[in-house]
Protein backbone atom coordinates (compact mmCIF):
# COMPACT_ATOMS: atom_id res chain seq x y z
CA UNK A 1 0.00 0.00 0.00
CA UNK A 2 1.30 3.47 -0.96
CA UNK A 3 0.04 6.35 1.16
CA UNK A 4 0.86 10.02 0.65
CA UNK A 5 -0.16 13.29 2.27
CA UNK A 6 -0.65 16.47 0.26
CA UNK A 7 0.08 19.29 2.65
CA UNK A 8 0.00 23.09 2.46
CA UNK A 9 -1.88 26.24 3.42
CA UNK A 10 -5.45 26.93 2.25
CA UNK A 11 -5.45 27.59 -1.49
CA UNK A 12 -2.04 26.01 -2.06
CA UNK A 13 -3.56 23.65 -4.63
CA UNK A 14 -4.11 20.49 -2.62
CA UNK A 15 -7.55 19.82 -4.09
CA UNK A 16 -6.44 20.75 -7.61
CA UNK A 17 -3.36 18.50 -7.63
CA UNK A 18 -5.13 15.65 -5.82
CA UNK A 19 -7.53 15.19 -8.73
CA UNK A 20 -4.62 14.72 -11.14
CA UNK A 21 -2.59 12.50 -8.79
CA UNK A 22 -5.39 10.04 -8.00
CA UNK A 23 -6.08 9.56 -11.66
CA UNK A 24 -2.38 8.93 -12.48
CA UNK A 25 -1.56 6.66 -9.52
CA UNK A 26 -4.95 5.01 -8.82
CA UNK A 27 -5.01 6.11 -5.19
CA UNK A 28 -8.17 6.61 -3.12
CA UNK A 29 -8.67 10.35 -2.49
CA UNK A 30 -9.54 11.28 1.10
CA UNK A 31 -10.17 15.02 1.45
CA UNK A 32 -11.44 16.09 4.85
CA UNK A 33 -12.64 19.38 3.29
CA UNK A 34 -14.76 17.47 0.74
CA UNK A 35 -16.06 15.04 3.38
CA UNK A 36 -17.08 17.98 5.61
CA UNK A 37 -18.74 19.87 2.73
CA UNK A 38 -20.68 16.68 1.88
CA UNK A 39 -21.97 16.52 5.46
CA UNK A 40 -22.92 20.22 5.28
CA UNK A 41 -24.82 19.77 2.01
CA UNK A 42 -26.82 16.92 3.61
CA UNK A 43 -27.40 19.09 6.72
CA UNK A 44 -26.43 16.25 9.07
CA UNK A 45 -25.75 17.12 12.72
CA UNK A 46 -22.02 16.67 12.05
CA UNK A 47 -22.33 19.01 9.03
CA UNK A 48 -24.16 21.68 11.02
CA UNK A 49 -21.50 21.56 13.75
CA UNK A 50 -18.67 21.73 11.18
CA UNK A 51 -20.24 24.66 9.32
CA UNK A 52 -19.99 26.88 12.42
CA UNK A 53 -16.22 26.41 12.47
CA UNK A 54 -15.63 26.56 8.71
CA UNK A 55 -17.63 29.77 8.24
CA UNK A 56 -15.29 31.49 10.69
CA UNK A 57 -12.17 30.08 9.03
CA UNK A 58 -11.46 27.85 12.04
CA UNK A 59 -10.42 24.21 12.03
CA UNK A 60 -13.13 21.65 12.82
CA UNK A 61 -12.44 19.79 16.14
CA UNK A 62 -9.95 16.91 15.90
CA UNK A 63 -12.35 14.21 17.12
CA UNK A 64 -14.78 14.99 14.29
CA UNK A 65 -12.23 14.75 11.45
CA UNK A 66 -10.35 11.80 12.95
CA UNK A 67 -13.66 9.89 13.21
CA UNK A 68 -14.44 10.67 9.57
CA UNK A 69 -11.04 9.47 8.34
CA UNK A 70 -11.24 6.32 10.44
CA UNK A 71 -14.62 5.43 8.87
CA UNK A 72 -13.34 6.23 5.37
CA UNK A 73 -10.35 3.90 5.84
CA UNK A 74 -12.66 1.10 7.01
CA UNK A 75 -14.95 1.65 4.02
CA UNK A 76 -12.08 1.12 1.54
CA UNK A 77 -10.38 -2.14 2.59
CA UNK A 78 -9.10 -2.96 -0.91
CA UNK A 79 -7.62 0.45 -1.81
CA UNK A 80 -4.10 0.18 -3.23
CA UNK A 81 -3.20 3.36 -1.37
CA UNK A 82 -4.60 6.62 -0.06
CA UNK A 83 -3.95 10.25 -0.90
CA UNK A 84 -4.73 12.33 2.19
CA UNK A 85 -5.69 15.88 1.15
CA UNK A 86 -5.99 18.49 3.91
CA UNK A 87 -5.43 15.89 6.64
CA UNK A 88 -3.65 15.81 9.07
CA UNK A 89 -3.92 19.51 10.00
CA UNK A 90 -2.88 19.28 13.69
CA UNK A 91 -0.33 17.24 15.63
CA UNK A 92 -3.16 15.25 17.25
CA UNK A 93 -4.48 14.35 13.78
CA UNK A 94 -0.98 13.29 12.64
CA UNK A 95 -0.58 10.96 15.63
CA UNK A 96 -4.09 9.54 15.16
CA UNK A 97 -3.36 8.86 11.48
CA UNK A 98 -0.16 6.99 12.34
CA UNK A 99 -2.09 4.84 14.81
CA UNK A 100 -4.83 4.07 12.28
CA UNK A 101 -2.32 3.17 9.55
CA UNK A 102 -0.26 1.06 11.94
CA UNK A 103 -3.31 -1.19 12.35
CA UNK A 104 -3.18 -1.72 8.58
CA UNK A 105 0.60 -2.07 8.49
CA UNK A 106 0.61 0.67 5.83
CA UNK A 107 2.65 3.72 6.88
CA UNK A 108 2.83 7.12 5.15
CA UNK A 109 5.46 7.05 2.39
CA UNK A 110 5.80 10.82 1.99
CA UNK A 111 4.31 14.13 2.96
CA UNK A 112 4.45 16.51 -0.01
CA UNK A 113 4.26 20.10 1.29
CA UNK A 114 3.32 22.81 -1.18
CA UNK A 115 4.90 26.19 -0.62
CA UNK A 116 2.96 29.27 -1.84
CA UNK A 117 3.27 32.94 -0.81
CA UNK A 118 0.46 34.49 1.21
CA UNK A 119 -0.42 37.07 -1.49
CA UNK A 120 -0.86 34.30 -4.06
CA UNK A 121 -3.02 32.23 -1.64
CA UNK A 122 -5.39 35.15 -1.01
CA UNK A 123 -5.57 35.95 -4.73
CA UNK A 124 -6.44 32.33 -5.62
CA UNK A 125 -9.07 31.92 -2.91
CA UNK A 126 -10.82 35.22 -3.64
CA UNK A 127 -10.91 34.26 -7.32
CA UNK A 128 -12.44 30.85 -6.48
CA UNK A 129 -14.91 32.65 -4.16
CA UNK A 130 -16.34 34.50 -7.16
CA UNK A 131 -17.81 31.26 -8.50
CA UNK A 132 -17.52 28.43 -5.94
CA UNK A 133 -20.39 29.43 -3.66
CA UNK A 134 -18.07 28.50 -0.76
CA UNK A 135 -18.79 30.86 2.13
CA UNK A 136 -15.20 30.46 3.39
CA UNK A 137 -13.76 31.75 0.09
CA UNK A 138 -15.63 34.98 -0.61
CA UNK A 139 -14.58 36.98 2.45
CA UNK A 140 -10.98 38.15 2.83
CA UNK A 141 -11.28 38.26 6.63
CA UNK A 142 -12.26 34.57 6.74
CA UNK A 143 -9.44 33.69 4.32
CA UNK A 144 -6.94 35.48 6.56
CA UNK A 145 -8.35 33.61 9.61
CA UNK A 146 -7.76 30.32 7.75
CA UNK A 147 -4.16 31.30 7.03
CA UNK A 148 -3.64 32.20 10.70
CA UNK A 149 -5.07 28.79 11.74
CA UNK A 150 -2.58 27.22 9.33
CA UNK A 151 0.38 29.03 10.89
CA UNK A 152 -0.67 28.42 14.51
CA UNK A 153 -1.92 24.81 14.32
CA UNK A 154 -1.04 23.17 11.00
CA UNK A 155 2.46 24.29 9.91
CA UNK A 156 3.92 22.38 12.89
CA UNK A 157 2.66 19.10 11.39
CA UNK A 158 5.47 19.36 8.80
CA UNK A 159 8.00 19.06 11.66
CA UNK A 160 6.36 15.81 12.73
CA UNK A 161 7.07 14.26 9.31
CA UNK A 162 10.52 15.89 9.05
CA UNK A 163 11.53 13.88 12.15
CA UNK A 164 10.82 10.70 10.18
CA UNK A 165 12.46 12.03 6.97
CA UNK A 166 9.13 11.97 5.16
CA UNK A 167 8.59 15.69 4.47
CA UNK A 168 9.32 16.91 0.93
CA UNK A 169 8.99 20.63 0.07
CA UNK A 170 7.48 21.45 -3.33
CA UNK A 171 7.37 24.86 -5.00
CA UNK A 172 3.59 25.36 -5.28
CA UNK A 173 3.72 28.34 -7.67
CA UNK A 174 3.67 28.20 -11.45
CA UNK A 175 1.30 26.43 -13.80
CA UNK A 176 -0.85 23.55 -12.55
CA UNK A 177 0.99 21.20 -14.95
CA UNK A 178 4.45 22.31 -13.80
CA UNK A 179 3.52 21.74 -10.15
CA UNK A 180 2.01 18.35 -11.03
CA UNK A 181 5.30 17.35 -12.69
CA UNK A 182 7.27 18.35 -9.55
CA UNK A 183 4.95 16.22 -7.39
CA UNK A 184 5.18 13.22 -9.73
CA UNK A 185 9.00 13.39 -9.75
CA UNK A 186 9.02 13.04 -5.96
CA UNK A 187 6.36 10.31 -5.90
CA UNK A 188 8.13 8.28 -8.60
CA UNK A 189 11.29 8.21 -6.46
CA UNK A 190 9.33 6.54 -3.66
CA UNK A 191 6.63 4.37 -5.22
CA distance 121 to 127: 10
Which of these ranges, 29-37, 70-78, 104-112, 160-168, lies near ligand B4P under the rule CB under 6 A? 29-37
Q: Say whether residue 29 binds ligand B4P (CB under 6 A).
A: no
Choose between 105 and 177: whose C-beta lies nearer to ligand B4P: 177
Q: Which is nearer to ligand B4P, 144 or 162 (CB)?
A: 144
Stretch that binds ligand B4P, among 52-60, 72-80, 103-111, 160-168 (CB under 6 A): 52-60
- 3-22 footprint of ligand B4P as x/- string (CB under 6 A): -----x-xxxxxxx------
| Subset of residues 105 to 144 that bind ligand B4P, contact rule: CB under 6 A | 124-125, 128, 136
Q: Which residues, listed in sequence order, are joined to residue 66 by a DSSP beta bridge? A: none
| Residues in a beta bridge with 3 | 108
Q: Which is nearer to ligand B4P, 172 or 187 (CB)?
A: 172
Q: Is 164 helix (H, G, I), strand (E, B) or coil?
A: coil
Q: Using alpha carbons, select from 157, 114, 138 the residue that is nearest to residue 9.
A: 114
Q: What is the rounded end-to-end Cα distance, in angstroms, of the chain?
A: 10
DSSP secondary structure letters along 1-64: --EEEEE-STTSSHHHHHHHHHHHH-PEEEEHHHHHHHHHHTT-HHHHHHHHHHTTTPPPPHHH
Q: Are β-strands 3-7 and 108-115 bridged in parallel, bridged antiparallel, or unpaired?
A: parallel
Annotate each residue in 154-173 with x if it binds ligand B4P (CB under 6 A) or - if it does not, as one string.
--------------------
Which range, of 40-48, 72-80, 83-91, 161-169, touches ligand B4P by CB under 6 A? 83-91
Which one, of 133, 110, 137, lies nearest residue 123 by Cα? Answer: 137
Contact set for ligand B4P, span 56-75 (CB under 6 A): 59-60, 65
Interface contacts to ligand B4P, rule CB under 6 A: 8, 10-16, 32-33, 36, 53-54, 59-60, 65, 86-87, 89, 93, 124-125, 128, 136, 146, 176, 179
Amino acid sequence: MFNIILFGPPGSGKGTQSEKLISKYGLKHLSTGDLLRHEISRQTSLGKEAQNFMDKGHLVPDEVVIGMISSALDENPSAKGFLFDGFPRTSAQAEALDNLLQLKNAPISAMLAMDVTEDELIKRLLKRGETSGRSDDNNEEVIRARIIEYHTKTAIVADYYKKFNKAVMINGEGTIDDIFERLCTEIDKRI
